[in-house]
A and B are shown apart, each in its own frame.
Chain A
Amino acid sequence: MFIGVKGLSVVGSAVGNISGPGYDSDAEAYIDAVESADGEALETEVKEAYNNFFVGLKDDGLLADLSACCLLLGARTIAGALTPLVPSMPTPTNNNFVSGDYSRTTGLKGDASTKYLDTNLLANADGQDDFHLSVYETELHNTGGGTAGILGYTDFPGSSNAAQIVYRYNSLFIQRAKDNNSTQLNRGTVTGYSGIVRSNSANFDYRYPGGTGTITGTSTPAPSANMFVFANNLPGTGAYIRANCRATFYSFGAAITLADLDSRVSTLVTEIGAALP
């Protein structure tokens, strides 16, 4: 039995970690869960980066608006990286990822063929006109033909209702937000944070490195099907249009200010990179 010191109290810990004094309570719970999944304590610098992230989310009023979220960096193992940000969020199901696909600093890498995460969050869990989805990529999808879904769901080739971020032939970046809008944007080659957010029935906002804007598209009800990452979920079929990007973060939830979450995630990525050179 190891004894750890947390704040001003003395408690036992399954893996013998000593959390830093004064950590945010949700950060501390997350750190404990990651260390339990990893079977080993995290470095102080990693824990501090996690704590800074939680404090920042709360300062911006973001944490309560997240329905499903994983930090795919910092943890020692995939099991640790798939720890939900808070216990009330669903734990994603790993399909075909192996340890070699994971880097503690650059995240989890898809293969555009077999690998994906099922978030176990229903696409209709958040409001039809009150939702966001986002991802932080450290490597962009880069295989040849076809369409690659970074995250979300699609009912292609059905009625074209989708909430997704996808690539088409590598360079195009297409976003839908529970509508059938087929706007295609030139994504470019800069890695970083991308997201879409809808807060009304008439249009939605998008954000990617170097670009922001609003797209007109009337919302429609989402299906009762789970959101996927490194692929889109095609209800009735399953994982569809897989991607081989590498990502350190994903989130789904209520409508938020994407710029705020971008800033917090970007800082986290920088701090973890500095903590684990």
Chain B
Amino acid sequence: MTLEDLIPDLPLSYAQGTTYGLVFAIDLKMRLDEIQQEHPPVNYATPVATTDGRYVLHGDLLSEVGPNGMFGGTFSYLDQSRFNEVEVIDWSAAQALLPVIDPI
């Protein structure tokens, strides 16, 4: 499933959003960074690098993409034609893509 498939259901409920992870390539991450530099938000969507070179956001952000949502402003600047490049996976699978860090 991709983010494009979820468009009719947006914004998601918090409970539903927490079950998803949003995974995408570095070029979309860089585009998100550009948007937030051009239109500085109060609340930042900050992707995290995965072990396979992609980036992930928690799907619960999709509970805040409506007009009055915390991430509604940033979401409105995104190019919906590229939503099919955002893979939607189970949150547990997304967490498995993150490095386990134990530096001590």
| Contact pick for A96, options B15, B18, B42, B46, CB 8 Å | B46
Residues of chain A lying within 8 A (CB to CB) of residue B63: 98-100
A114–B102 Cα distance when bound, in Å, is 17
Contacts of B98 in A (CB 8 A): 113
- The distance from the CB of B41 to the nearest CB of chain A, in whole angstroms, is 9
Which residues of chain B are near A97, meaning CB under 8 Å? 43
The docked-state distance in angstroms from the alpha carbon of A154 to that of B104 is 11
Among A78, A97, A98, A101, which residue has the most Cβ atoms of chain B within 10 A? A98
Tell which of A94, A168, A239 touches B102, judged by Cβ atoms closer than 8 Å. Answer: A168
- CB A43 to nearest CB in B, in angstroms, measures 23
Residue of A nearest to B22 (CB): A114
| In contact, B70 and A98 (Cβ under 8 angstroms) | yes
Give the distance to chain B from A196, nearest Cβ to Cβ, in Å. Answer: 16
Are B44 and A93 within 8 A (Cβ)? yes
Chain B residue numbers with a CB within 8 Å of A147 are: 101-104
Q: Closest CB of chain B to A52's CB: distance in Å?
A: 29
Given A100-B14, A100-B63: A241 in contact with B101 (beta carbons within 8 A): yes
Query: Which residues in A have their C-beta under 8 angstroms from that of B17?
Result: 98, 100
Q: How large is the interface on B (under 10, 10 to 19, 20 to 34, 35 or more residues)?
A: 20 to 34
- Say if the beta carbon of B48 comes within 8 Å of chain A: yes
Residues of B within 8 A of A166 (CB): 104
Assuming the contacts A78-B70, A111-B58, asked whether A98 and B14 have C-beta atoms less than 8 A apart, the reply is: yes
> Which of A78, A99, A100, A146 touches B101 (beta carbons < 8 Å)?
A146
Given that A113-B95, A156-B103, A241-B101 are known contacts, is A100 also in contact with B18, CB under 8 Å in the complex?
Answer: yes
Chain B neighbourhood of A95, CB < 8 A: 43-46
CB distance from A251 to the nearest CB of B (A): 22
A79's partner among B42, B101, B104 (CB-CB below 8 A) is B42
Please name all residues of chain A whose beta carbon is closer than 8 Å to the beta carbon of B44 when the two chains form the complex: 93-96
A240 beta carbon closer than 8 Å to chain B = yes
Q: Point out the residue from B43, B47, B48, B60 that lies within 8 Å of A94, measured CB to CB.
A: B43
Which chain B residues border A99 with CB–CB below 8 Å? 14, 63-64, 70
Taking a contact as CB atoms under 8 Å apart, the answer to whether B101 and A239 are in contact is no
CB-nearest residue of chain B relative to A168?
A: B104
Find chain A residues with CB under 8 A from B47 CB.
114
The yes or no answer to B100 lying at the interface (CB within 8 A) is yes
